[in-house]
Amino acid sequence: MQYRTLGRTGVQVSSLALGAMNFGTMGRTTQDEVTALVDAAVEGGINLIDTADVYSGGESEELVGKAIAGRRDDIVLATKASLPMGDERNHQGSSRRWLVTELDNSLRRLGVDHVDLYQIHRWDPRTSDEETLSALTDLQRAGKIRYFGSSTFPAYRIAQAQSAAREHHLGRYVTEQPSYSILQRGAESHVLPVTEQYGLGVLVWSPLASGWLSGAIREGRTVTTSRSAFLPQRFDTAVPANRAKLDAVEQLAKVADEAGLTMIQLALGFVTAHPAVTSALIGPRTLDHLHSQLAAADTVLTADVLDAIDTIVAPGVDLAAHEKNDAPPALLDPALRRR
């Protein structure tokens, strides 16, 4: 396992991090299964675990908390907030009112007195940067969080938040968590240059592109990933974007074979090769998934392999940009772009 400094914090984290979105109802995983996954991940050198309040309605945090009991100080623990937690209109967003309340809820579910990294899951256009950063700074000073970061923020919002922190003399985001994979390279055009400029740590989500780069999805095979059950439209090859992904996967499989690599090694080795990336978040649901991903921990792709990838999916290109969840709200809601 490789270890890298998380931005400018001085904290050393593994180049592969354990994502907990599949823990609980969403991934149909029990406490015993989650504990086994955490045990194996730690044994394999992973020291960063990332969850969120919204994952399985808080169940993921509860399962993670029990799995790390007795070794809390050895784990860099990250969670997130801002996505809706129920139907109440104020149980979401990044207002001081909600973040102060929801962090306490997360700490209770996790069974800890602080988290190492608290992340705003999505940019909240209704709340000012000053409001959010002020709340996060106070929570940091209270000792409930060590650092705070953002997730899936557009590049201009990352820059604006850094400017607001300086202007108002507040703590700043020290990490960003973008979508990034061989099939989704748009982050290279805007987000990653900005994170490099501000010295942010980068934890990339979906480096296997929701299973497209796992090796399980190939021409002529029935798609049976866990994601295909609740997001079937993302795997329907009649959709042009999905057809483009499948065509790319077939070409990438040849590159992997010629290099003596699995598709997973190719995919994870690609994202961790970018100088802006600190860690790739893997989201195994089973021990077999985890072990196949841990096998990529020390993968270093040669220049000719990286060049071959560039010819299949050009730098800065997203094959399915609509799946990244980072579109400005006005693109999704007509009422926000009309007077």
Of 221 and 27, more confident = 27
Is residue 274 a part of any domain in this protein?
yes
Alpha-carbon span 213 to 208, nearest angstrom? 5
The confidence score (pLDDT) of residue 2 equals: 95
Residue-level pLDDT at 224: 60
- Split at pLDDT 50, 70, 90, the class of 181 is very high
* Confidence at residue 42, expressed as pLDDT on a 0 to 100 scale: 97
On average, the pLDDT of the chain sits at 94
Cβ proximity of 193 and 277 under 8 Å? no
| Positions of E strands within 283-325 | none
Instruction: Judge whether 127 lies within some domain.
Output: yes
Asked, for residue 339, whether it belongs to a domain, the answer is no
CA–CA gap between residue 312 and residue 250 (Å, rounded): 10
* In a domain? residue 165: yes
Does the pLDDT value for residue 155 go beyond 60? yes
Q: Both tokens of residue 201?
A: 């740590």
pLDDT band at residue 321 using 50, 70 and 90 as cut-offs: confident
Which pLDDT score is estimated for 111? 98
Instruction: Assess whether pLDDT exceeds 90 at residue 217.
Output: no
The H or E element spanning position 284 is none
> What is the pLDDT averaged over residues 242-262?
96
Residues 31-52: pLDDT tens digits?
A: 999 999 999 999 999 999 999 9
**Structural domain span for residue 7:** 3-334
Here the CATH number for the domain that contains residue 319 is 3.20.20.100
Mean of pLDDT values over 76-90: 96
List the catalytic residues: 55
CA distance 36 to 336: 46
- Residue pair 54/83 in contact (Cβ under 8 Å)? The answer is yes
Residue 218 clears pLDDT 60, i.e. is over it: yes
Helices 263-273 and 303-312: crossing angle, nearest 10°? 100
pLDDT at 198 over 90: yes
Residue 230 pLDDT more than 80?
no
Position 140 scores a pLDDT of 98
Looking at the 3D structure of the chain, how many domains does it have? 1
Assigned domain for 212 exists? yes
* Residue pair 272/208 in contact by the 8 Å Cβ criterion: no
Which pLDDT value is given to residue 223? 63
| Domain-embedded: residue 38 | yes
% of the chain with per-residue pLDDT over 70: 96
Instruction: Give a yes or no: residue 330 inside a domain.
Output: yes
φ/ψ bin of 56: left (φ > 0), alpha (ψ from -120 to 50), beta (otherwise): left
Two structure tokens written together for 32: 């015993």
Specify whether the CB–CB gap between 27 and 299 falls below 8 A.
Answer: no
> What pLDDT was estimated at residue 234?
75
Percent of the chain predicted with pLDDT > 90: 85
Looking only at the bridges linking them, the beta strands covering 3-5 and 12-14 are antiparallel
